[in-house]
Structure formats: C-alpha cells, structure tokens
Amino acid sequence: MAKLTIKDIDLKNKTVLVRADFNVPQDKDLNITDDTRIRATVPTLKYILDSGAKKLIVMSHLGRPDGKRVDKYSLKPVALRLQELLGVPVKFLNDCVGDNIKQEADAAKERVVLLENLRFHAEEELNDAGFAKQLASLADVYVNDAFGTAHRAHASTEGVTHFLKSSAGFLLEKEIKYLGGAVTNPEKPFMVILGGSKVSDKIGVIENLLPKCDAIIVGGGMAYTFLKAQGKSIGNSKLEKDKLDLAKSILGKAKALKKEIILPVDHVVVDTIDANAKSEIAGENIPDGKIAVDIGPKTIELFEDKLKSAKTIVWNGPVGIFEMDAFSKGSLAIAKFISGLKATTIIGGGDTAAAVAKFKLEDKMTHIATGGGASLEYLEGKVLPGVAALTEK
C-alpha cells in the first residue's frame, strides 16, 4: 500500500471518522437480510476502539434516496445490528451534518456514533466541499473502509480527505491487496472467468486483463454474443447485436496475443425462462427458439480442465441464471471446483459474491470483493477516487 493505513496513524484520544459501506439489503419490514457488509468492517472498528480512540463516528449511505429523507433508507436498523456485532452501545444520530449533530456527537456518552444516511443530502453525491468540511469537522482523522463506494468521488469518500489526515481501513487495504495484486502482479498461470449477461459490462476488464492473464473463460449471457460472432447458432439466447463487431475484434486481439478465450461447447436450454421450465442439453449450436440458461456438462469439464493448473483466478459474473436452482449447476460446479484448488481465488463482488454465498462457499475463497461496481472498475485498471485521495505514506 502506497497509502496510509490505520496502523500508520496514532489513534489514541482521537475522534475517528470512518466511512463504511452499510448499504445492506432489507426486507419489507426493514429487517436486514444480509449483514455481510457490516461484519466486513467490524475488524477495523474494533481496532480503532482498542487503539484508545476517544470516539468513533461512522458514516454510510443506504439505497438511493436521491438527496431526500426517505424513511425506508434510514440507517437506524443498521445501528442496532452494529451494536450487536461490536458488543458496545452505539448512539444513532438522526442526521449527518449540522451544528446540533456536532454537539450531539461530542456530548454522546457512547464511544461509537452512527450518523444518518449521507445520501439524504444531495451534496454527498455532488462532492460538495462545504458538506465535506462539515463531515470532517466531526473528527481528528479519517478512515475509509468502504471499498464498495471507492469508485465514486463523493463528499464522504474524496471530499473529506482535503480536510483530514486520511487512511485505509483493513477491508479497503485487503481489497486493494488482492484485486490490485491480480491486476499488477498475479502468480501465473492467471485465469479469468467472466460471466453475467452483457459483453458491454465487461469490455474494460477484458481489455485490461487479456494481456496479463493466460486465458479468459466466458460463460453466462455474454458468451452468446461471442458464439454468434464465431458463426454459431444461438437460438433465442441473450444477444447484444450491436456488440458483434466488438466480440469479433476481442477474439482477434486474443489470437494476436496468443491468449485463449474459452467459450461454452454445450448448453442447458429451455423454451421460456421459468424456474419450472423443462430443460435439455444442446451442443455447440443451439436450436431455433431455444434459450440457453446455463453451461452444459461438457463445458463444465472443459472449464475445470483449463482451471486446474491455475495459481490465480479472478471470477466476475456467474455462468448461468444461478438465482434459479435448476440453472445454477454450472456456477455451483465452477465455484466448488476452484474452492478446492491451491490457488488465490478472487471473487469480484456483486452477483458472483451472491452466488458463492448461496452455495455456502465464501470461507473457501481467498477473497470476496464487497463492491461489485468498484471491483469491476479496479479490474478495468481505473483509478478509484476514494483510494487515490488517501494520504500517501
């Protein structure tokens, strides 16, 4: 890390402002259905408290309230869960800026304070300097542990760093170590698995990683644009017609670089996408009217054969409609297979993380990115404003 981490800063008797990513899913009764993101930042928060910080002020966003106060996006339920996980009282404040907020934070008997949703103020996403200054005025030092928003130049991720000494928390540091390592210095053979529905979502990743990796395995909906570009029949499967030329150029580029792009050789197909639809296996060419929803058994074998010698694997995007059990076999097989390899396995957030969680294989992977969009941009080789803004060592 070229940036300061919390271990580089003296926290004793300091008030520490932490940007966390508590953007957690909730049910209709506002019960948190997955607290992974809260748990992921607990080691950073506990370290700050154990280091003798006077006060810990935590801030986050939740949902997309678009600069207005929206009750269902309140962080109040998060305060209760955070209190349980930290094992210490957490004071919840009903806003994040304002004179009374600074007074309440200073006067709080509790050492941990959680501010209300940052995005109740439009100034947060506009990276308004005045708003950032108000947030910064609450503390002596700033810690960013919100990798999921590090690709956004917001007041709480980039703006506050202009007013406070800034460092990375353990979670942010870990994300940069694994994702950054994969991008800059991966142990070889380095294999990339890309899935998801659209080629357009992954162009940047392909272009950045193709020269660095040994091969790219492609599954999911995006595979059918590549197969169509090769002249294969894809039936009614997902197709980005306007990306056919791009797919051809990527295949050409791979050939010139002597890199393999490995595509499915058989498919699970249905007439309509429905959890109870009758499925069958189609070979390389998909019959007219049929829709591919998962990779077939020969493809699973092919992918596993290509992956078995890998030392670094980055996986971004499931290889089938994993949300429906009947079409999750391909993603499950790949997840199980790579979890048993002696390799660094990096799961690129979003749907891939959700798939690995569904298969209960999280603890078998080296690293699971907590932010889908941020990890995608990092794998594309883009500079993340929230990381770039931190104080240099």
Q: Is 55 among the catalytic positions? A: no
Whether 373 sits among the annotated catalytic residues: the reply is yes
Strand 291-295 relative to strand 90-92: parallel, antiparallel, unpaired?
unpaired
Question: What was the pLDDT predicted at 350?
Answer: 79
119 is catalytic: no
CA-CA distances (angstroms) from residue 337 to 302, 329, 367?
A: 12, 12, 16
pLDDT by residue, tens only, the chain of 393 residues:
689 999 999 999 999 999 999 999 999 999 999 898 999 999 999 999 999 999 999 999 999 999 999 999 999 999 999 999 999 999 999 999 998 999 999 999 999 999 999 999 999 999 999 999 999 999 999 999 999 899 999 999 999 999 999 999 999 999 888 888 888 889 999 999 999 888 888 898 999 999 999 999 999 999 999 999 999 999 999 999 999 999 999 999 999 999 999 999 999 999 999 999 999 999 999 999 999 999 999 999 999 999 999 999 999 999 999 999 999 999 999 999 999 999 999 998 778 988 999 999 999 999 998 877 888 888 888 889 999 999 999
- Whole-prediction pTM value? 0.88
Catalytic pick among 159, 219, 317, 350: 350
Architecture of domain 6-173: 3-Layer(aba) Sandwich (3.40)
Selection from 297, 302, 335, 338 nearest residue 318 by Cα:
335
Q: According to the model, what pLDDT value does residue 392 have?
A: 93
Q: Which of 3, 14, 37, 174 is catalytic?
A: 37
**What digits encode the pLDDT tens for the residues 311-343?**
999 999 999 999 999 999 999 999 999 999 999
* Catalytic residue selected from 67, 204, 373, 381: 373
What CATH number should be reported for the domain whose range is 186-379?
Answer: 3.40.50.1260
Alpha-carbon gap, residue 143 to 141, rounded angstroms = 7
Show the 3-state SS of the chain: CCECEHHHCCCCCCEEEEECCCCCCECCCCCECCCHHHHHHHHHHHHHHHCCCCEEEEECCCCCCCCCCCHHHCCHHHHHHHHHHHCCCEEECCCCCCHHHHHHHHHCCCCEEECCCHHHCHHHHCCCHHHHHHHHCCCCEEEECCHHHCCCCCCCCCHHHHCCEEEECHHHHHHHHHHHHHHHCCCCCEEEEECCCCCCCCHHHHHHHCCCCCEEEECCCHHHHHHHHCCCCECCCCCCHHHHHHHHHHHHHHHHCCCEEECCCCEEEECCCCCCCCCEEECCCECCCCEEEEECHHHHHHHHHHHCCCCEEEEECCCCCCCCHHHCHHHHHHHHHHHCCCCEEEECCHHHHHHHHHCCCHHHCCEECCCHHHHHHHHCCCCCHHHHCCCEC
Catalytic site residue from 198, 212, 298, 358: 198
Digit-coded pLDDT (tens) for 367-378: 998 877 888 888
- 16: Cβ contacts below 8 Å, ≥ 6 apart: 48, 53, 55, 56, 57, 139, 140, 141, 142, 143
Domain ranges of the chain: 6-173, 186-379
Q: How far is CA 263 from the centre of its chain?
A: 25
Question: Among this protein's residues, is 350 annotated catalytic?
Answer: yes
Same fold, 6-173 and 186-379: yes
